[in-house]
Amino acid sequence: MIDINHIQIKQSGETVCLTWEGTSNVRLLLNGRPCFIQNSNSYQTETLPLFEPLSFELIDSDSKTRIVTALVSSTDDLFWNRKMTVLIQQDHAVRLLWGEIPEVSHYTVFQDGHRLGQTMIPEWQGTIDPERFTRFEIRVLRPISRKSMPFARTIEKFARVTNQIKQEQDREREFEQFVLYFSLYPLSASHMKVSSYRLRVLTFIAPPILVNPNPFSPHRYFEGDARQYSPFSKEYRTFTEVLTCSGETTHQLSKQANPTRSFDARHQLYREDVASTQRVYLSNQSPTRYTLHHSVGNPLVVSPNIDYEIKVAHRSNLWRIAGTHLQSPHHEVYLDEGDDCFETIHQAHDLGLSFLGDPLPSCHWLHVMNQ
Distance CA 244, CA 264 (A): 43
* pLDDT band at residue 25 under the 50/70/90 scheme: confident
CB atoms within 10 A of CB 333: 26
Alpha-carbon dihedral angle through residues 76, 80, 81, 87, given to the nearest 10 degrees: 160
Q: How far is the CA of 193 from the CAs of 246, 311, 313, 337, 338, in angstroms? A: 10, 23, 17, 9, 9
**Pairing label, strands 175-184, 362-369:** parallel
Say which CATH superfamily domain 1-71 falls into: Immunoglobulins (2.60.40.10)
pLDDT tens digits for range 280-332: 999 999 999 999 999 999 999 888 789 999 999 998 789 999 999 998 899 99
Question: Nearest CA to 93 among 65, 135, 57, 60?
Answer: 65
Percentage above 90 pLDDT, the chain: 71
Residue 188 has pLDDT above 90, yes or no: no
Distance CA 202, CA 229 (A): 9
User: Collapsing DSSP states into helix, strand and coil, what is residue 330?
Assistant: strand
What's the pLDDT at 146? 47
Cα angle: 28, vertex 32, 33; to 5 degrees: 65
* pLDDT band at residue 173 under the 50/70/90 scheme: confident
| Domain ranges within the chain, ordered by starting residue | 1-71, 143-369
What's the pLDDT at 220? 92
Residue 163 has pLDDT above 60, yes or no: no
For the question of whether the overall pTM of this predicted structure is more than 0.85, the answer is: yes
For residue 182, the cross-strand partners are 136, 368
* pLDDT band at residue 356 under the 50/70/90 scheme: low
Phi and psi at residue 109, to the nearest 5°: -115, 135
pLDDT tens digits for range 30-68: 999 999 887 778 999 999 999 999 999 999 888 899 999
User: Collapsing DSSP states into helix, strand and coil, what is residue 309?
Assistant: strand
Specify the range with the lowest mean pLDDT, choosing from 64-73, 168-177, 294-303. 168-177
Cβ 87 vs Cβ 96: under 8 Å: yes
What's the pLDDT at 148? 47
Across 144-148, 156-160, 174-178, 234-238, the highest mean pLDDT is recorded for 234-238
Percentage above 70 pLDDT, the chain: 89
Distance CA 202, CA 258 (A): 11
What's the pLDDT at 22? 76
What's the pLDDT at 248? 83
Classify residue 334 by its DSSP letter: E
Q: What share of the chain is helix, strand, coil (3-state, %, to 5)?
A: 10, 45, 45
Q: Residue range 81-87: average pLDDT?
A: 97
Residue 13 has pLDDT above 90, yes or no: yes
Mean pLDDT across the chain: 89
Distance CA 348, CA 326 (A): 10
pLDDT tens digits for range 97-142: 999 999 999 999 999 999 999 999 999 999 999 999 999 999 999 9
Burial class (CB in 10 A: 0-12, 13-18, 19+), 328: buried
Distance CA 297, CA 303 (A): 7
pLDDT tens digits for range 228-279: 999 999 999 999 999 999 878 889 999 999 999 999 999 999 999 999 999 9
What's the pLDDT at 156? 47
